[in-house]
Amino acid sequence: MPHRLFRLLATIWVGSQLTVGYLVAPVLFSTLERGSAGQLAGHMFYLEALLGAAIGVLMLALGNYMVRRGDVAYRRLRWPLLGMLLCTLIGYFALAPFMSAALTDAARAGTDIGHSAYAARFGLLHGVSSVLYGLESLFGIVLVWRLPFSSRVF
């Protein structure tokens, strides 16, 4: 049962992360006005971060439980899992508040972020956040790729 739960959590987290970042967000920006697309994408990335943080903590606990039970296959999964979790925490709970502040400051100045004095800071933070998201995606792919197969026949 813990093996199946671990696989389910990994599938939900990695699948939702890849879907939001590489399918939904580009569609939003190709179909909506840039400001509206950015607001929606930002909200979706925030929800994805909450989901990722919760699932990541659960998976770490579950993986450690299975390693203590003697299932050493889960020992090698802790590094990509920890990488994903750190990327989530840094990207959404350390960088995102500064990005949000830049957007708010630009709105208070009566302009959009692209034409404001905060554009360079927002662009730098967005770039770092994008790199972290890409790393998180790679960690997720490694995690799913390395998931052990059950030796039992179902």
Buried b (16+ CB within 10 A) or exposed e, 6-42: beebbeebbebbeebbeebbeebeeeeeeeebbeebb
pTM exceeds cut of 0.85 = yes
Domain assignment of residue 84, yes or no: yes
Provide DSSP, 13-60: HHHHHHHIIIIIHHHHHHHS-HHHHHHHHHHHHHHHHHHHHHHHHHHH
Q: Does the residue 100 lie in any domain? A: yes
Residue 55 has pLDDT above 60, yes or no: yes
What average pLDDT score do residues 95-99 get? 93
Is residue 154 a part of any domain in this protein?
no
Q: Give the pLDDT of residue 112.
A: 87
At 150, is the pLDDT very low, low, confident or very high (cuts 50, 70, 90)? low
The count of domains in the chain is 1
Percent share of the chain, pLDDT over 90: 82
Domain span holding position 6: 2-146
